[in-house]
């Protein structure tokens, strides 16, 4: 039986696989750009020149980068029998939603989606081991 735990945030995913008493850890980088708006006024005067921020272009690009990131993770976990997703922020919930929407065969194997702070590689392995042993 293959048990998989995924610690996921916007920068990377750590995939811990437990199989036949052995564990392996794989890291997948997201390559999602971090957007910082550079808008606002270039003068102290009210109604002065302002930069137009192209939010929609950035958000569309981020959506495609996130989809590619999730598909890279899914290709690594398609053979799992049991899955737990954890991590900070909302990326774990977005990943769960992607699984339920487009990969229902994997979504049925989700045992839990939990919040967790940033962790070292060894802490992630221990967290997954503890989750499946309890």
Topology (CATH) of 2-31+54-133: Nucleotidyltransferase; domain 5 (3.30.420)
The pLDDT value recorded for residue 37 is: 61
Higher pLDDT, 84 or 35: 84
Q: Where are the domains of the chain?
A: 2-31+54-133
The pLDDT value recorded for residue 103 is: 96
Could you read off the pLDDT of 34-70 as tens digits, one per residue? Answer: 876 655 555 566 665 556 667 888 889 999 999 999 9
The pLDDT value recorded for residue 34 is: 82
User: How far apart are the C-alpha atoms of 29 and 56, rounded to whole Å?
Assistant: 24
Report the candidate in 25, 6, 13, 9 with the shortest Cα–Cα distance to residue 82. Answer: 6
Could you read off the pLDDT of 90-113 as tens digits, one per residue? Answer: 999 999 999 999 999 999 999 999
- The DSSP code for 1 is -
| CA 4 to chain centroid | 14
Query: pTM score, two decimals?
Result: 0.86
Label residue 128 by pLDDT band (50, 70, 90).
very high
Q: What phi and psi, each to the nearest 5 degrees, are found at residue 21? A: 80, 0
Give the residues across from 127 on adjacent strands.
none
- The DSSP code for 52 is P
User: How far apart are the C-alpha atoms of 132 and 72, rounded to whole Å?
Assistant: 24
């Amino acid at each position: 039986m293959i048990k998989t735990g995924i610690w996921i945030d916007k920068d990377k995913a750590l995939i811990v696989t437990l199989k036949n008493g052995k564990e392996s850890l794989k890291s997948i980088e997201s390559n999602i750009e971090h957007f910082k708006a550079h808008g606002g006024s270039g003068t102290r005067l009210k109604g002065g020149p302002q930069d137009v921020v192209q939010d929609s272009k950035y958000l569309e690009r981020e959506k495609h980068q996130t989809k590619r990131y999730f598909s890279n993770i899914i290709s690594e976990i398609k053979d799992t029998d049991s899955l737990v997703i954890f991590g900070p922020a909302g990326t774990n919930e977005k990943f769960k939603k992607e699984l339920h929407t487009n990969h229902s065969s994997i979504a049925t194997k989700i045992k839990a989606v939990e919040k967790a702070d940033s962790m070292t590689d060894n802490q992630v392995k221990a967290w997954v081991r503890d989750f499946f042993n309890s």
